[in-house]
Amino acid sequence: MVEDRKILWQDLREIHMKQQGAYLALGDYNAILDPEDRKGGNPVREMEIVNFNEFLLDTSMTKMRSSGRSFTWTNIHVSSKIDRALVNGE
pLDDT in tens, the chain (90 residues): 778 889 999 999 999 999 989 999 999 999 999 999 999 999 999 999 999 999 999 999 999 998 999 999 999 999 999 999 999 988
- Give me the half-sphere count of Cα atoms (radius 13 Å) on the Cβ side of residue 28: 5
pTM of the model: 0.89
Q: Which domain holds residue 48?
A: 2-87
Q: What is the predicted pLDDT for the residue at 1?
A: 73
Question: In terms of C-beta density within 10 A (0-12 exposed, 13-18 middle, 19 or more buried), how is residue 33 classed?
Answer: middle
What 8-state DSSP symbol labels residue 60? T
What distance separates the 2 farthest-apart alpha carbons in the chain?
42
Q: What is the predicted pLDDT for the residue at 31?
A: 94
Q: What is the predicted pLDDT for the residue at 58?
A: 94
Q: What is the predicted pLDDT for the residue at 63?
A: 94
Domain count, the chain: 1
d(CA 25, CA 88) in angstroms, rounded, equals: 9
